[in-house]
Amino acid sequence: MTAAPYVPDSRSLPKLRGAATVCHGCDLWRTATQTVFGSGTRTADVMFVGEQPGDQEDQQGEPFVGPAGRMLDKGLEEAGIDRGRVYVTNAVKHFKWQPRGKRRIHQKPNWTELAACRPWLDAELAAVKPRVLVCLGATAAQGLLGRQFRVTKQRGEPVDSPLAEIVLATIHPSAILRSDDREREYAGFVADLRKVAALL
């Protein structure tokens, strides 16, 4: 399973986005509404990588437009990071879910799905060439930085990586929404984003 045969040899984001609409590089397209490609300009200085689109992203076809996206936007604003300098995307481009009653419950993508989708992320990185790459949460961080990466221990600290000049990870905004102590988690998230702002 790999998206590789679907990825055009192009650094144009509209071309990549268009080609991704018909990606069948793994099986997740079967139950998802549509591919959710990254969003932002090719001149963005910073790329944020989440896990996969959620329920609302799946329906709207845009990343980070649901509750987690609103939390991300709030944090970016508070940290003074201009949304226009940001490209947002996900490690996996289709929503993985299971039905529970009428609800669609998010399922974590597995390693096979992450690896299958990786060529899209590599193409986005080649097109945008962000100076700073920020992994949001363990799935993106471990997928991009290695299985041994621990967000809880290594968050906010730049790590050596060939993916961008500066690479770091922080918690996923949805972890703030799930937390019993939202205020503390949010403060930590903004503190990490301020480190990103200082690098720009």
Per-residue DSSP letter, 159 = B
How many residues bind ligand URA, per CB under 6 A?
A: 13
Please report whether residue 57 would count as binding ligand URA according to CB under 6 A: yes
Q: Which segment (47-55, 79-87, 151-159, 185-193) binds ligand URA by CB under 6 A?
A: 47-55
Kindly report the three-state secondary structure assignment for every residue of 23-54: CCCCHHHHCCCCCCCCECCCCCCEEEEECCCC
Token pair of 96, please? 């993985």
Q: Does 54 bind ligand URA (CB under 6 A)?
A: yes
Chain center to CA of 89: 4
Residue 136 and residue 106: Cα distance in Å, rounded?
16
How far is C-alpha 198 from the geometric centre of its chain's CA atoms? 21
Cβ 104 to ligand URA shortest distance, Å: 13
Contact letters (x/-) for ligand URA, 159-188, by CB under 6 A? ---------------x--------------
Q: How far is the CB of 9 from ligand URA (least distance, A)?
A: 26
**Footprint of ligand URA on this chain (CB under 6 A)?**
50-54, 57, 63-64, 66, 68-69, 90, 174
